[in-house]
Amino acid sequence: MADASAAPAASSGRLAVRKTYKLYINGSFPRSESGRSYQVLSAAGQFLANVAWASRKDVRDAVVAARKAVAAWAGSTAYLRGQVLYRAAEMLEGRREQLAESVALAEGISAGEALDAVGASVDRLVWYAGWSDKIAQVAGSANPVAGPYFNFSVPEPVGVVGALAPQTSSLLGLVSVLAPVIVSGNALVVVASELRPLPAMELAEVLATSDLPPGVVNILTGRVAELAPVLAAHRDVDALDLAGAPDGLDASLEEAAAGNVKRALRRQRPEPDWYAEPGTGRMLFFTETKTVWHPMGL
């Protein structure tokens, strides 16, 4: 699919049906309500596709979808969420070659490197799938208070998270931002890499076939500098992941986040090695700790 500008394959002699790249909102693939699109080129400069150019209204719709989905997703069992993430790994594995082609074109890396990236993405999903029913055991506690009370702390998902996917690592980076957010029960609106959005939309198709409830993940493509401020200022977004924030925008995004005291995860400098084991920091960042007291008596 990626090689749209090449001549029809000599062997089949048929014209390829090009994919239309739309947004992924609420489990389906709508066009941008603005009707706009922008051209995406490969790392080598070849035209790849016209991709939907999301507007602020699309952000609004995506947040609405995420908010609608989060209560049920957060209320689902950890077991179920683990199952869903694992299914996504299965689906991604099944489309390994296709995704690798897309990543290679987007990032200008070799086929072998691209396959590694996809493999690591699958493994990343598997890793997080195994976390869903363990977060509470690692981050929760029964607290020994000095009185006749039973007191426990549990991690809860923060709610709706707005994220800016890493700009260069078009698949592995995205998966590394997406999975830790949703594994604990959050819903996500993520803006894909601006120049390398196609693997993100392939991933959207993977997610759409993974029993992920509609609205839990929403992926938007477009100009990050245009969409990020909308997410950052949106009062129904609870937290932000600024991993893919454009240079010079961090301060204003963090400032906008203060409007409703969002938890904002800053872009790490230098960019992390997405291949490395992530640790629990990112996952726990998007949880809140709730502590409950109850007397113990007759």
Residue (7 or 247) nearer to another protein, CB: 247
Q: Kindly state whether residue 15 participates in binding another protein, applying the rule CB under 8 A.
A: no
Largest CA distance in the chain: 83
Which amino acid, 198? L
Q: Kindly state whether residue 45 participates in binding another protein, applying the rule CB under 8 A.
A: no
- Pairing state of beta strands 149-157 and 287-295? antiparallel
Distance CA 242, CA 257 (A): 11
Q: Kindly state whether residue 276 participates in binding another protein, applying the rule CB under 8 A.
A: no
Q: Which of 27, 38, 151, 275 lies at the binding interface for another protein (CB under 8 A)?
A: 151
Q: Kindly state whether residue 134 participates in binding another protein, applying the rule CB under 8 A.
A: no
Smallest separation, CB 255 to another protein (Å):
4
Smallest separation, CB 122 to another protein (Å):
23
Q: Which of 55, 87, 265, 274 lies at the binding interface for another protein (CB under 8 A)?
A: 265
Closest C-alpha to 179, from 243, 270, 229: 243
Which amino acid, 192? A
Tokens representing 137 are 């055991």
Q: What would the DSSP string read from start to end of 105-133?
A: HHHT--HHHHHHHHHHHHHHHHHHHTTTT
Q: Which of 138, 168, 211, 225 lies at the binding interface for another protein (CB under 8 A)?
A: 138
Q: Match 């409830």 to its residue by tokens.
A: 213
Q: Kindly state whether residue 255 participates in binding another protein, applying the rule CB under 8 A.
A: yes
Q: Kindly state whether residue 139 participates in binding another protein, applying the rule CB under 8 A.
A: yes
Q: Kindly state whether residue 288 participates in binding another protein, applying the rule CB under 8 A.
A: yes
Interacting stretch for another protein, rule CB under 8 A, among 170-178, 185-193, 201-209, 285-293?
A: 285-293
Q: Kindly state whether residue 269 participates in binding another protein, applying the rule CB under 8 A.
A: yes
Q: Which of 5, 143, 168, 209 lies at the binding interface for another protein (CB under 8 A)?
A: 143
Q: Kindly state whether residue 281 participates in binding another protein, applying the rule CB under 8 A.
A: yes
For 239, residues 6+ apart whose C-beta sits below 8 A from its C-beta are 158, 159, 160, 161, 162, 186, 262, 263, 264, 265, 285, 286
Q: Is the separation of the CB atoms in 40 and 49 below 8 Å?
A: yes
Q: Is the separation of the CB atoms in 223 and 196 below 8 Å?
A: no
Q: Which of 11, 144, 247, 277 lies at the binding interface for another protein (CB under 8 A)?
A: 144
Binding site for another protein (CB under 8 A): 138-139, 141, 143-149, 151, 153, 158, 238, 250-255, 257-261, 263-269, 279-282, 285, 288-298
